[in-house]
Structure formats: structure tokens, C-alpha cells
Amino acid sequence: MATTKLIKLVTIFVLLFSIFTPEAYSQSNDCNTESNNGCNDKKAALLLKIIAIVSILVTSMIGVSLPLFSKRVPALQPDRNLFVIVKSFAAGIILATGFMHVLPDSFDMLWSDCLKENPWHKFPFTGFVAMLSAIITLMVDSMATSIYSNKCKDGVTPHQTSEVVPEGDQEMAVAGTGHFHAHHHGLVKEEGVQTQLLRYRVVAMVLELGIVVHSVVIGLSLGASNNTCSIKGLIAALCFHQMFEGMGLGGCILQAEYKRLKKAIMVFFFSVTTPFGIALGIALSSTYKENSPSALITVGLLNASSAGLLIYMALVDLLSADFMGPKLQGSISLQIKSYIAVILGAGGMSLMAKWA
């Protein structure tokens, strides 16, 4: 049911995006024309875009699938320290994606000189939309967890009765008390495990939705560009980005313990969204102009909302949930290793901002 809802959300987003992006037609001012330099080559750019589709598809599939096959590698199972460290590294990459890639792009677009002074230069729309996106993500995160928890409760809980125990049976009742408490504690523990599993499933769903949004946006930008100089750098940066972002998502999918079909659907959507965005950009390259007001506003607002979602998910549902959990709280050494992994992941992704 949850996977079906995710598919519907993604489908609605793609349809809306496909409707609004063709409105970015070229007009008569300088903001709708591409710069004329030696790097603009439509035929060479098309070949690079095809290479980008294949390479990004392959690296995305490898990245998101690696954690799912970790059961065959004992050291990478979710209860092992190495898994926590790798997940921290991937969370750092997702955090840097929001802060260093998506959010700055949104600021650049919504503060562009190609947009009217009023209202775009009078109000920080990027920060406002990112803030709203983080709040809405919190609402979805919290409410979805509550709804799923209520649906999964079987309603069977141990309770004490007010019946009077006959004197002859008091000894037997006392003897059975230990069994009752053991059974009660077992149910409480099982309920806690079930609640944690629901949290993992909600996190995986919401994170996938945020990644799908910004993956289509960055794919569209690459597909619509004819600048071979920038495309070459983008291909390498996006392959790195998709590989390790996929590892973070794959870890969440693994912890969610979905059935094989649901895992395959989530892997498929993550893997194809950026290539789909590139293909959409190629199809619209004759009409879509990245500096047109319509394109700047549409993509800028989408980037801002995606940034708010990714930053929230990285800090709250990935990093905070793990670092404040019992496993990391019980080991200072593991905490230090995980912090180093976060810094390395965020630092590496921040370095990629030089090219993408």
C-alpha cells in the first residue's frame, strides 16, 4: 500500500513537471538565449548525454543495490559497526547534496537578473520554501508513522483482571506471575521492534520521494544543456553523487525489510529518475531555456523544496536517529568513526560542487 502511494506521488510529480517545463519557451530577451562560446556543440553534447544516461543508470543501480546484497557479506549487515559507518558516510553525502548543491542552485535561480525585481529580489523565497518543505516533511514523517503504527497494532495487550483468586489457587497464581511478566516484557519488546521497523519504512519512502524530485531536476538541467565543457564535469560528479546517495537509500531500504517486489520497485525508481530527467531535457532542448523566467522559477522552487526535505532527512532521520540511538551511544569509539565518515562524505560531496 505504501509503495503504491509512493508510485502515485512520483507519477503526479512527473506529470506536473512535464506540463510546466514546456512553458519555458524562448522569448525575445537576452535571458532566453544560450551563450555563444566554443563549448556549445549540439551534436557532441547529444553523444555525451547518451553516455551520461547509461553511466548514471549503471552507477545508480550499483549504489542502491549494494546494501541490499550485504546479507551475503556478514560485515555489512545492519547490526554490524561497518554498516553504521557506511550509512553515516552516505548520510553526509545526502546532507551535502542539500546544503552545497541543491540549495545554492535555488538561490542562484530565484535571485537571477532575468527575474523581475518585485517580488523575486524583495524576498528570500529559497529559504522560505526550504523551511516550509522541512516542516511539511516533519508532518508527513510524524503522521505517517502514527497512521502505520495504528494500523499495525493488533489490539491484543496483556491486562490484569479484577477477578478474585480463590485461596486454593493463590499459590498457582503466584507461580504464574513470573510467566506473565516474561510474556508481557516479550510483547513490549516485540512492539518496540515493530515500531522501529515502521519508522525505517517511513524514512525510506520519504527519502526516496525527495531524491526522486531533485534527481529529475538535475537530469533535466543536464539534458537541456548543449555546453560540452560543463556536461563532462557533470557526468563524473553525478555518477559519484548517485552511487553514494544510492548507498544511503539502499541502507534505508534494507533496514525497512521490504519484500523483494517493493525493493525492486524502489531500486527502479531511484535508478531511472536522473536518466529520465536527462531524456526529458533532450526532448525539450529546442524549447526549454534554462535562463527563461518560467524555467528559473519552476526549477528554483523545486530545488528549494527538495533541499529542505533532504536536509531534514539527513539530519533528523538518518544522522540524529543513529547517533542518539543505543548502538552509537554505547560506544564512543564507534561514534568517532561515524563522525569521521560523515565529514568525509559531506566533504567529498562538497568538493563536487566545484564541477556540479
Position 147 scores a pLDDT of: 80
Task: Return the DSSP state at 286.
Answer: T
**Bridge-partner residues for 227, per DSSP?**
40
The residues near 321 (Cβ < 8 Å, ≥ 6 apart) are 199, 203
pTM for the predicted model, two decimal places: 0.72
Sequence spans of domains, the chain: 47-152+190-353
Position 28 scores a pLDDT of: 38
Residue 2 in contact with residue 205, Cβ under 8 Å?
yes
Report which residue type is found at 276.
F
Position 133 scores a pLDDT of: 92
Position 159 scores a pLDDT of: 44
The residues near 133 (Cβ < 8 Å, ≥ 6 apart) are 304, 305, 306, 307, 308, 309, 312
- The whole-angstrom separation of Cα 204 and Cα 184 is 31
Position 171 scores a pLDDT of: 47
- The whole-angstrom separation of Cα 291 and Cα 297 is 10
- How buried is residue 230: exposed, middle or buried, by Cβ count under 10 Å (0-12/13-18/19+)? middle
- The whole-angstrom separation of Cα 148 and Cα 133 is 22
Position 172 scores a pLDDT of: 46
3-state SS class at 40: strand
Position 152 scores a pLDDT of: 66
- Give the residue carrying C-alpha cell 530565484: 110
pLDDT, one tens digit for every residue, the chain (356 residues): 555 555 555 545 544 444 444 444 334 345 765 555 567 788 888 999 999 999 999 999 999 998 888 777 777 777 789 889 988 998 998 899 889 988 998 999 999 999 998 999 999 999 999 999 999 989 988 888 788 777 766 554 444 444 444 544 444 444 454 554 555 555 555 666 777 888 888 888 888 888 888 788 888 888 888 888 878 878 888 888 888 888 888 888 988 888 899 999 999 999 999 999 999 989 887 777 778 888 889 888 988 988 998 899 899 888 998 899 889 999 999 999 999 999 999 998 898 887 66
Residue 65 in contact with residue 263, Cβ under 8 Å?
no
Position 335 scores a pLDDT of: 96
The residues near 166 (Cβ < 8 Å, ≥ 6 apart) are none
Position 153 scores a pLDDT of: 65
